[in-house]
Structure 1
Amino acid sequence: MPKISERAIEMPSSPIRKLVPLANAAKERGIKVYHLNIGQPDLASPGKGLEALKNIDRRVLEYSPSQGFKSYREKLVKYYESYNIHLSADDIIITTGGSEAVLFAFLSCLNPGDEIIIPEPSYANYIAFAISAGAKIRSIATTIEEGFSLPKVEKFEELINERTRAIMICNPNNPTGYLYTRREMNQIRDLVKKYDLYLFSDEVYREFIYTGSPYISACHLEGIEDNVVLIDSVSKRYSECGIRIGALITKNTEIRKAVMKFCQARLSPPLIGQIVAEASMEEPEDYSREVYDEYVERRKCLIDGLNRIPGCYSPIPMGAFYTVAKLPVDDAEKFCAWCLTDFNYEGETLMMAPAAGFYTTPGAGKNQVRIAYVLKKSDLERALFVLKKALEAYPGRVMD
C-alpha cells in the first residue's frame, strides 16, 4: 500500500478539535459538555444577514468573481475607513474564511524552506498552513508571567537569517487575548523595514478591544505599505463562522496578482456567504455595541472566576475572546482528555483546548489551556464551578 505524504505526517492535529471524539462520546453517555475549546460565539448573527439568507431570490446559485463581489468589497472599503485604514476595492480579495487568506498569503509570498517568525503561543492553524506551503515557523517565546508581551528586538534578530522571509502576528491575539502596543508595532515595523520582510497581520478581532488602548493595525505603519498583508474575516465580528467569508488585503500589486492565481484555481469564494456578509454590514450599530458589551461582561466573569480557583492563573486578556490559563496539573492535554472520559460533576463536564498545541517549542504550554469565553455568563459560571471540581478530583493535580 502506498504511503501518505511527509507533509501529511508532519501536519499536526488541531488542539481545538482533536478531543471532539471524546466530547461526542461523553454526550452519548448523557453528559452535558461546556464547550470552551473553540471560538464559536453563541450570540445571534446579524438580523440583516439572516434575512438576506432567507430571501435569496436567485434561480441559479452561480460562481462569484474570483476576487469576490465588487459591491461587497466597496462596502468593506467604507468599513475599514472607520478604522483609519485607507483602501480601494482593488486592494481587497475575498477569501473562503480568514484561513484561506493565510494560506494564500503563504503560498504567494514564501518559497519552500523559507522561515516565518511568529510569537508563540500562536493560532495553531498557522503551523498547518506553513506546512502546506513548505515553510518553517521560527517561534519567538512570550510568557504568561509577562502577560504575553513581545520580547525585545534583539530576540527577534537572533532568529533572522538568510531564510527569514516574514513576521506574522495576530492582533488582538488568538490564543492569548494580548493587544500589541504602539511601541511593539513600531518595533515590528522597524524589523520589517530593516530586513525587507513581509508582515502578515491577522486582525479579525479588532472589534473586541477592552482596555481603551488604541487599535494599531499593520496598515497604520508607515514606510512598509508594500510589505503588509492583512488577514480578516467576518466569522467573529458577526458570529458568522459558518459562512466562510474572509479577506486578504494588501497594497502590494505583485502579491495581489499572485494571490489571484490561487483564487482563480479554487474558482470563487462562497456565493451565499458573500450575500450574507454584505447584508450584515447594513445591521444597525446597536448590534456591534451589544455584542461588545456582552463580551466585556463575559471576560470579567471568566478571568475573575479562573483566578479564584486555587492554583489557576490567567492574565487579563486585552482583546479577542480567549485567554491562556495556567492550571495546577501535570499535563493539560491529559487533564482535558480526562475531563471528557473519566470525570463529570452532576452529569456535566467541560472541554478546553490544551495550549501545547499553540506552541512549536517542545514542552511549552504543558500545564496551560486556551479558553474561549463564547458562552453566556450563566454557562461560564457553571463551567468554572465544574472546572474547580475537576481540578479537585484530578489525580495528576500539582500544587506549587
Structure 2
Amino acid sequence: MPSVSNKGLSMPQSPIRKLVPFAENAKKKGVKVIHLNIGQPDIKTPQQALDAVKNNTINVLEYSRTEGSEEFRTKIAQYYVKNNIPVSASDIIVTTGGSEALAFAMNTVADTDDEIIIPEPFYANYNGFATACGVKVVPVVSKLEDNFALPPIEDFEKLITPRTKAILICNPGNPTGYLYSKEEIQKLASLVKKHNIFLIADEVYREFTYDNKVHASILKENGLDDHAIIIDSVSKRYSMCGARIGFLVSKNKEFIATALKFAQARLSPPTYAQIASEAALDTPDSYFEEVKTEYVARRNILIAELEKIKGIKIARPQGAFYCIAELPIKDADHFAQWLLEDFRVDNETVMVAPAAGFYATEGLGKNQIRIAYVLDQDSLKRAVHILGEALKSYNG
C-alpha cells in the first residue's frame, strides 16, 4: 500500500473539529448538544449582503481577477481608511478566507524550516498552516494569570535566530480574547524593525473590542510599512463565515507582488462571495454597536456563571468572543469526549474545545478549554450549568 507524506502525518487535528463525530453520535441518539466549541456567530448576516447575491444579474459565473475585483478592493481600502488605516486597493489581495491569507503570508515570508514566533495559546490552525508551509512555529508563552497579556519583549528577542522571519499575533486574540494595547504593539514594532523581520497581525476581530478599549492596528504604526502584514476576513465581522472571503493587506510592494504569485496558482477568489462581501461593507456602524453590546452582555453572563463553579479559573476577554477557562481536571480532551459520550442533564450536554491544541508547547493547556460565547444569553447560562454539573460528576 502506498504511504502518505510525513507532512500529512504530522498535520495536527483541529481541537475545534476533532470531536465532531462524538457530537454527531450524541445528536443521533436525540441528545441536544450546546456548542461552546466553535466561533460560529448566531448574529444575523447583514441583509444587503444576502440580497446582493439573490438579486444579481450574472449570466456567466466567471473568474474574477486573482487579487479580487478592483471595485471590491477599492471599497475594502475605503473601509480601512475609515478606520484610520491608510491603504490603497493595490495593497490588498482578496483571499479564500483568512485561512488562505495566512497560508499565503507564511509561504511568502518563510522558506522550509524557517521560523515564526507566536505567543501561545494561539488560533489552533496556525499550527496546521505552518506544517503545510514547512515553517517551524516557535512559541512564546503568555499566561492565564496575566490575562494572556503580551509576554515580556525580552522573551521574544531571545528566541530570534537567523531563521526567524516573522512574529505573528492575533489581535484581539483567539482563543484568549486578549486585546493588545498600543504600547504592546509599539514594543513589537520596535523589535521587528531592529531585527529586520515581519510582523503579521491577524485582525479579523477588529470591530469587537470592549470596556471602551480601542483596537491598535499594526498598519497605524509609523515606519512599519515594510514590516507589517495584516490578515483579515469578513467571516466574524459580518457573521459571514460561509462566504470564505479574507484579505491580505500590506504596504510592502515586494511582499504583495510575491504573495500574488501564490494567489495566481489558485486562480481567483469566489465570485458570488465577493459580491456578498462588497455589499456587506455598506453595513452601518449601528450594526456593530448592537453586536458589541450583545457580546459584552454575553461575556459578562458567561464570566459571572463560570465564577460560581468551584475550582475554575478564567481569563477576562477584552475583545473577540472567546475565553480560556482552566478546569479542576487533568485532561480536557478526555473530559470533552466524556461530555459528549456519557454525560447528560435532561438529555442535554455541551461541546467544548480542549485548549491543548491551541498551544505549540507540549503539555500546556491540558486542563484548559476554549469557550466561544456566540450563543444567546439563556443558552450560555444553561451550558455553564451543565458544565458545572458535569465537573461534579466527573470529579466525583
What TM-score range do you get, normalising by the shorter chain? over 0.9
Tell me which residue corresponds to 2:79. 79
Q: CA deviation at 1:376?
A: 0.6
Tell me which residue corresponds to 1:353. 353
- C-alpha distance in structure 1 between counterparts of 2:354 and 2:240, whole Å: 25
Q: Spell out the pairing of 1:74-153 with structure 2 (5 A cutoff).
A: 74-153=74-153
Matched, 1:383 2:379: no
Letter in 2 for 1:318: Q
Q: CA deviation at 1:283?
A: 2.5
Contact 2:119 2:151 in 1 (8 A): no
Q: CA deviation at 1:51?
A: 1.0
Q: CA deviation at 1:56?
A: 2.3
Letter in 1 for 2:193: K
- C-alpha distance in structure 2 between counterparts of 1:88 and 1:193, whole Å: 23
The C-alpha deviation readout for 1:196-222, integer Å capped at 9, x for no partner, is 011111000010000222211110122
Contact 2:339 2:390 in 1 (8 A): yes
Letter in 2 for 1:128: G
- C-alpha distance in structure 2 between counterparts of 1:59 and 1:82, whole Å: 34
- C-alpha distance in structure 2 between counterparts of 1:141 and 1:211, whole Å: 25
Letter in 1 for 2:289: R
- C-alpha distance in structure 2 between counterparts of 1:97 and 1:297, whole Å: 28
Letter in 2 for 1:216: A
- C-alpha distance in structure 2 between counterparts of 1:289 and 1:61, whole Å: 35
The C-alpha deviation readout for 1:300-356, integer Å capped at 9, x for no partner, is 111111111111121210000000111111211110010001111100000010000
Q: CA deviation at 1:284?
A: 2.8
Greater mean deviation of Cα atoms: 308-317 or 266-275: 308-317
The C-alpha deviation readout for 1:344-387, integer Å capped at 9, x for no partner, is 11000000100000001111001100000000111111111111
Tell me which residue corresponds to 2:223. 223
Q: CA deviation at 1:291?
A: 1.2
Q: Spell out the pairing of 1:236-315 with structure 2 (5 A cutoff).
A: 236-315=236-315
- C-alpha distance in structure 1 between counterparts of 2:292 and 2:148, whole Å: 23
Q: Provide the aligned length of Structure 1 versus Structure 2.
A: 396
Tell me which residue corresponds to 1:176. 176
RMSD, aligned α-carbons? 0.9
Letter in 1 for 2:393: A
TM-score, scaled to structure 1: 0.97
Tell me which residue corresponds to 1:324. 324
- C-alpha distance in structure 1 between counterparts of 2:11 and 2:182, whole Å: 34
- C-alpha distance in structure 1 between counterparts of 2:149 and 2:288, whole Å: 28
Tell me which residue corresponds to 2:339. 339
What is the percentage of aligned positions where both structures have the same residue? Answer: 52
Q: CA deviation at 1:183?
A: 1.8
TM-score, scaled to structure 2: 0.98
Contact 2:115 2:135 in 1 (8 A): yes
Structure 1, unaligned runs of 5 or more: none
Q: CA deviation at 1:115?
A: 0.4
Instruction: Point out 4+ residue stretches in structure 1 off by more than 4 angstroms.
Output: none
Q: CA deviation at 1:180?
A: 0.6
Letter in 1 for 2:368: Q
- C-alpha distance in structure 2 between counterparts of 1:165 and 1:64, whole Å: 32
SS of 2:313 mapped into structure 1: coil
Tell me which residue corresponds to 1:191. 191
Q: CA deviation at 1:59?
A: 1.0
The C-alpha deviation readout for 1:59-82, integer Å capped at 9, x for no partner, is 111111100011111111111112
